[in-house]
Homo-oligomer: A and B are copies of this chain.
Amino acid sequence: MDKNTRPEKKEIAAATLAALGEFGLIERIRQRVRANPAVLTGIGDDCSVCTFPPGEVLLTTKDLLLEDIHFRRTWIDMYSLGWKSAAVNLSDIAAMGGTALYVHLGLGIPAETALDDLEAFMHGFLSLCDQENTTLCGGDTCRSVQGLCISVTVQGSIPQAELCQRSGATPGDIIYVSGTLGDSALALLQLLEGEKPEAHIALRHYRPQPRLQLGRALASQRLASAMIDLSDGIFADLGHILERSGCGAELDTRLIPLSASVQQHLHQQPQRRTQVLKGGEDYELLFTAPAEQQQRIAQLSAELNVPLTAVGKILPAQEGLRSIDHCGITHTSMRENKSDASNPGGFNHFRA
């Protein structure tokens, strides 16, 4: 980067955002949001005002994405960052089996942020919202002296009887995952090592597709007994289900569906297998279902054209988590200390 032109460019960008002003920026975002008759008052009052489907229950999820913790501006383009910020929250609605309805966005923006970058961020964010028929209804924008700070809240709904929670697994249930796992973790690992990930692997890391249609179908057909989205990695996320359901499980890691790229990469670099499988951020769904639903699940997989792969089964709690490695050897881990039992091998924000 040319150091002589950089400060000047920054000044121009800052001047432009300053000239536009907080309310100018909000107005610009408002004009780009698609109209939705269910949104009675969107951006521009103390609260947004929306209708709510009669007889359903309210689902809410909220995630913070902080610069240099969740993302690095040098690794992700702003369109993808906007997309991903919406995706990780929409994925939580998918994991309950719900319909995503409304989105609220809080942005803490460093003064030197270029308007073009903000536009690209909003374009990515709103593109996914449009794709999933959910509407940005409000939020908050302010200056940040501490890097870009993104806070997303998504609201959805579901008939209460169709809810898929973490607590519903029963011994004997089969454990399924959708799609393929490990693509996102491999891309991140390569970025960390200074390698360039393949384009379609990188895309799975940068622009995950929340599995809303699948989640809704599993819930409305009452196929899943428990469900979670794969954000922290399969071991950690299965651990959340086991903890809430009071169960153990057997997970055969040889059955975990991998893309051709990940298979090929792990063939060449087998020492990365554990990292890739534990890495998370796939935003696929992990769910459990009674064994007698196998055929209906295969049908749904064909209908939606989404691979649904059985990777293990739920066991009684005293069996712990049995994990079968790539050599066929079984490793059994029991829950240790309560405070982190729910997160075996996953990402812990406060660990040194």
Partner-B contacts on A (CB < 8 A): 14-15, 17-18, 20-25, 27, 40-41, 44-52, 54-64, 66-70, 91-93, 95-96, 98, 102, 104-109, 111, 137-147, 149, 151, 153, 155-156, 160, 163, 165-167, 227-229, 244, 338-340, 342-343, 348-352
Give the docked Cα–Cα distance between A278 and B149 (Å).
28
Residues of B close to A166: CB separation below 8 A: 44-46
In the assembled complex, the CB of A12 is this many whole angstroms from the nearest CB of chain B, namely: 13
- Structural contact, B45 and A165, CB atoms closer than 8 A: yes
For A163, give the chain B residue with the smallest CB separation: B49
Give the docked Cα–Cα distance between A303 and B342 (Å).
51
CB pairs A–B below 8 angstroms (13 shown): A15-B352, A17-B350, A18-B352, A21-B351, A45-B244, A46-B166, A49-B57, A49-B163, A58-B155, A60-B102, A62-B106, A111-B350, A111-B352
- Structural contact, A66 and B351, CB atoms closer than 8 A: no
Give the docked Cα–Cα distance between A343 and B49 (Å).
22
Partner of A350, one of B25, B56, B64, B95: B25
Partner of A64, one of B47, B55, B137, B149: B149
- Structural contact, B349 and A141, CB atoms closer than 8 A: yes
Residues of B close to A25: CB separation below 8 A: 350
- Structural contact, A64 and B96, CB atoms closer than 8 A: no
Give the docked Cα–Cα distance between A66 and B352 (Å).
24
